[in-house]
Amino acid sequence: MLDDFFTRALVAGIGLAVTTGPLGCLVVWRRMAYFGATMAHSALLGVALAFAVDINPMLGVFAVAATVSVALLVLQRSGVLSSDTLMGILAHAALALGLVAITAMSWLRVDLMGLLFGDILAVSVRDIGVLYGGGALVLGVLAWLWRSLLASTVSDELAQAEGLNPERARIAFMLLMAVVIAIAMKIVGILLITALLIIPAATARRLASGPEAMALMASGLGAGAVALGLSGSLAWDTPSGPSIVLAAFALFLLSLIPGRVRRPARSETPP
Amino acid sequence: MMRETPPGDGAATGAVLASARDLGIARNGRWLVQGIDLCVRRGEIVTLIGPNGSGKSTTAKAVIGLMKADAGSVWRTPGLRIGYVPQKLAMDRTLPLTVARLLTLTHRQPRAAVHAALEAVGIPHLANAQVHGLSGGEFQRALLARAMLRDPDLLVLDEPVQGVDVQGEAALYSLISQIRERTGCGILMISHDLHVVMAATDTVICLNGRVSCRGTPQAVISNPAYQRLFGRTGADMLAVYRHHEDGTAPCGHAGHDHQAEPDEAAPGSQAPTNRPAEARHAG
């Protein structure tokens, strides 16, 4: 039987997974998994700042994640250090700064574990409203910019030569990432957000033959992982965020089993 | 899809689609190319050839607005529709993509048009194949089908036969000629060697940071500047491929004379076609 808090957690988690599916596919295609992790690591700093200036933590997280991604772009353009080095520096500097800032504000009683690993069972109806609003916004913008995003994933120059706007798509993509990190923090926590982006997408890759199909499957697989993970969490009293990620990982492992994989073969031989 | 207008309509003397005058592009304080004049007309095939690093791709990118000119100027017909086959596509294997979906990557197209384009390049049976499984030749054909599917005014082909064996090269170039015949578009092509391109080009521009020579393929292979750049052997081989063509030089440039001349490309002199000008970001 479903307790009320459990239903809320399920509704919130599935809403998030449906949002992270298509966005996660873009992260995987663009090889930006580490970029997502960098933005997610900065979320703690966003929470600290939000408490300091007394605004909604989600706004703080969004603002800091967006700032970090802009900083990364600027540093990449200067071209002195490689992208992965820059991301390693920014991710951990932001995380360390966030931890220091949170503990420095000694008057605050912050549930650090909740921030790092999520607290989906404490989700309120209002949280669900924000999450679904944010998720609808993300999916709407993704649908609107899908062609540009996909084309520039294959080739920025191709997209630009043929009249699309890859630059605008790239900026929108980063802002969408910031939104998702802001709304996902409470569900799976800062350290596990990237997992919900990339694991369902990677699982869907084994099953899909087209980009749109892969995006939809990633949403479905993510939702399945949420349902499985939460059920497992309830049954065995395990922490909910990590349980969801483990369920996603289990689905990924299942997709690797040979024979269940639909190989994207050529349709037929030439005549 | 392909245009309905009669083939070869006004070839070589067609309206100027894009031109560059005294174009120079610098990166990190070094000129990649300098003093480039070129012009592509409707129905004309212009081929840039030159050794690696001679600025072929750079020049082509500047002409279609992917790179900003640091010197000189570039002009394009307003509303010019470009079909582009880039030299490299960094396609991650995690992106599942069928050939048919590749063809509609930048613009929505009717299914019948996709099929007709694949038919035209000879790979209709590969519509549902994954692009990652294609051979070099099949992939280049798919890219060509994709670029022509937009019914472009100007096709820009950066090394369109890379990864293709010799027989395949000839077939692809003949295909490119056919596209020009059928659609009347202008083609700006990049190649690192002249011998197979010859039959499929009107004007050759030899680049080596600057224009070393230009003209009809026949004029270029007998040009000392070309022979210096590519060596005698190459030039001798080329004799085999000579063909009959009344090569018209671009923008009034005759033979290998590459003096800058006033561009005839007066904006609006000849409207591209009857298409409505669409919003685009060419620059």
**Rounded to whole angstroms, how far apart are CA atoms B174 and B104?**
24
Which pLDDT belongs to residue B95?
A: 92
* Mean pLDDT across A208-224: 95
Instruction: Give me chain A's average pLDDT, please.
Output: 87
Which pLDDT belongs to residue B232?
A: 56
Which pLDDT belongs to residue B247?
A: 40
- Which has more confidence, A80 or B182? B182
CA angle at A214 for the pair B94 and B126, rounded to the nearest 5°: 70
pTM of the predicted protein model: 0.80
**What CA–CA distances, in Å, run from A183 to A14, A33, A104?**
13, 18, 25
Which pLDDT belongs to residue B244?
A: 39
**Rounded to whole angstroms, how far apart are CA atoms B117 and B155?**
15
* Mean pLDDT across B164-190: 87
Q: Is the CA virtual torsion B76, B77, B80, B82 positive or negative?
A: negative
Residue that has been written with the tokens 């992106």 in this structure: B95
**What CA–CA distances, in Å, run from B194 to B85, B160, B169, B212?**
19, 13, 12, 14
Per-position DSSP letters for A119-136, written without gaps between them: -GGG--HHHHHHHHHHHH
Residue A182 phi, psi dihedral angles, 5° rounding: -65, -45
From edge to edge, which strands make up the β-sheet containing B16-27? B30-41, B16-27, B71-76
* Mean pLDDT across B122-142: 89
Identify the bridge partners of residue B33 per DSSP, sorted by sequence position: B25
- Which has more confidence, B237 or B202? B202
pLDDT at residue B271 above 80?
no
Mutate to test the interface with A, among B27, B58, B97 (most CBs of A within 10 A): B97
* Mean pLDDT across A9-30: 94
Which pLDDT belongs to residue B45?
A: 92
pLDDT at residue A148 above 70?
yes
- Which has more confidence, A90 or A3? A90
Q: Reduced to 3 states, what is the DSSP secondary structure of residue A39?
A: helix
> Which residues of chain B have a CB within 8 Å of the CB of A205?
94, 96
Identify the bridge partners of residue B213 per DSSP, sorted by sequence position: B206
* Mean pLDDT across B86-113: 88
A153, closest residue in chain B (CA to CA): B91
Which pLDDT belongs to residue B155?
A: 93
pLDDT at residue A125 above 70?
yes
What domains lie within chain A, and their CATH numbers? 4-256 (1.10.3470.10)
> pLDDT digit string (tens) for A228-248?
999 999 899 988 888 999 999
Which pLDDT belongs to residue A72?
A: 85
Instruction: Tell me the residue length of chain B.
Output: 283
Whether residues B94 and A208 touch (CB distance < 8 A) is answered with: no
Which pLDDT belongs to residue B229?
A: 78
Which pLDDT belongs to residue B214?
A: 86
Can you say how many angstroms the Cα of residue A170 is from the centroid of all Cα atoms in its chain?
A: 16
Paired tokens of B73: 């100027």
Above pLDDT 70, what percent of chain A?
94
3-state SS of A244-271 is HHHHHHHHHHHHHCCCCCCCCCCCCCCC
Name the helix (H) or strand (E) containing B34. Answer: strand B30-41
Which pLDDT belongs to residue B240?
A: 44
Which pLDDT belongs to residue B98?
A: 92
pLDDT at residue B260 above 90?
no
Q: Of A28, A154, A214, which is closest to B105 when you measure between CB atoms? A: A154
pLDDT at residue A6 above 70?
yes
**Rounded to whole angstroms, how far apart are CA atoms A81 and B162?**
32
CB atoms within 10 A of CB B30: 8
Which pLDDT belongs to residue B13?
A: 66
Nearest C-alpha neighbor of A152 from the set B149, B155, B95, B18: B95
Identify the bridge partners of residue B190 per DSSP, sorted by sequence position: B48, B158
> Which residues of chain B have a CB within 8 Å of the CB of A268?
125
Interface ipTM: 0.80
Name the helix (H) or strand (E) containing A227. Answer: helix A211-236
Shortest distance between the Cα of B242 and any Cα of chain A, in A, equals 34
pLDDT at residue B62 above 60?
yes
> pLDDT digit string (tens) for A164-213?
888 889 889 999 999 999 988 888 888 888 999 999 999 999 899 899 99
Identify whether the C-beta of residue B175 lies closer than 8 Å to the C-beta of residue B40: no
* Mean pLDDT across A113-127: 85
Which pLDDT belongs to residue A259?
A: 62
Which pLDDT belongs to residue A261?
A: 47
**Rounded to whole angstroms, how far apart are CA atoms B36 and A98?**
54
Shortest distance between the Cα of A156 and any Cα of chain B, in A, equals 9
Band the pLDDT of A61: cuts 50, 70, 90: very high
Paired tokens of A251: 């689905």
Question: Which of A207-216, B47-56, B158-167 is modeled with the greatest confidence?
Answer: A207-216
pLDDT at residue B269 above 70?
no
Least confident of A40-49, A175-184, B65-74, B210-219: B210-219
Above pLDDT 90, what percent of chain A?
45
Which pLDDT belongs to residue B2?
A: 40
Q: Is the CA virtual torsion A21, A27, A28, A30 positive or negative?
A: positive
- Which has more confidence, A270 or A6? A6
* Mean pLDDT across A80-106: 87
What domains lie within chain B, and their CATH numbers? 7-81+153-169+184-208+218-253 (3.40.50.300), 89-151 (1.10.8)
> Which residues of chain A have a CB within 8 Å of the CB of B128?
209, 266-267
Which pLDDT belongs to residue A116?
A: 83
> Which residues of chain B have a CB within 8 Å of the CB of A266?
126, 128-130, 133
pLDDT at residue B241 above 60?
no
Paired tokens of B245: 């063509």
Which pLDDT belongs to residue B8?
A: 36
DSSP state of B98: B
Whether residues A163 and B282 touch (CB distance < 8 A) is answered with: yes
Band the pLDDT of B242: cuts 50, 70, 90: very low
Q: Of A158, A268, A269, which is closest to B84 when you measure between CB atoms? A: A158
Separation of first and last alpha carbons in chain A: 59
Instruction: Give me chain B's average pLDDT, please.
Output: 77
Q: Of A162, A208, A265, which is closest to B150 when you measure between CB atoms? A: A162
Identify whether the C-beta of residue B206 lies closer than 8 Å to the C-beta of residue B212: yes
Which pLDDT belongs to residue A133?
A: 93
